[in-house]
Amino acid sequence: MASNCSFDVVSEVNMQEVDNAVNQAKKELSQRYDFKGSKAEISLDKDEIKIIAEDEFRIRSIIDILQSKFVKRGVPLKSLDYGKIEPSAGGMERQIIKIQRGISKEKGKEVVAAIKASKLKVQAQIMEDQVRVSGKSKDDLQAVIQMLREKDFGIELQFTNFRS
């Protein structure tokens, strides 16, 4: 087989599902007995989720609610980058959770290094926020996919654009 086959390694998040999960968490927050009379709130702004509550315990409870909604909606929890809890106005506490989309340069280098260490006859190159893997054999590409699934890079990986 003389033609090259390729696929892309990406890390994408369905923002519509994130929005749905945040809205479901807001609804549950308004209905829960332990949050009655509380000023706790969740808001989604572009690529970050802001949580505001009276204390750290309530922030942790809100994060538990949010994570359960994400799991139900199929949003990978690895795509969330939790900031530290910091004081906010009016004696409140705030935490910002960034939603990671795309593969950063550092993570891309880790992925490429892992592919090169596998000694398979494929080439990997970083293209903006994704990694393209190409080779002559589909079997080698499938072996790369299997190897990447077994490793933990700290981000959720998807494999798209498989061309033969």
The pLDDT tens digits along the chain (164 residues) read: 446 888 888 888 889 999 999 999 999 988 888 888 888 889 999 889 999 988 888 899 999 999 999 999 988 888 888 899 888 888 889 999 999 888 888 888 888 888 888 888 888 888 888 888 888 888 888 888 888 888 888 888 888 887 87
DSSP count for the chain of H helices, then E strands: 4, 9
* pTM (predicted TM-score): 0.79
- The pLDDT assigned to 2 comes to 47
Please provide the DSSP assignment of 19-72 as one string: HHHHHHHHHHHHH-GGGTT---EEEEETTEEEEEESSHHHHHHHHHHHHHHHHH
d(Cα 38, Cα 147) in Å, to the nearest integer? Answer: 47
Instruction: Identify the bridge partners of residue 79 per DSSP, sorted by sequence position.
Output: none
Report yes or no: 138 and 5 within 8 Å, Cβ to Cβ: yes
- The pLDDT assigned to 3 comes to 64
Cα 32–35–41 angle (5° rounding)? 105
Each domain of the chain, given as residue ranges in start order, spans: 5-12+103-163, 15-99
Domains 5-12+103-163 and 15-99 fall in the same CATH topology: yes
Q: How is domain 15-99 classified at the CATH fold level? A: Alpha-Beta Plaits (3.30.70)
The CATH code of domain 5-12+103-163 reads 3.30.70.860
- The pLDDT assigned to 1 comes to 43
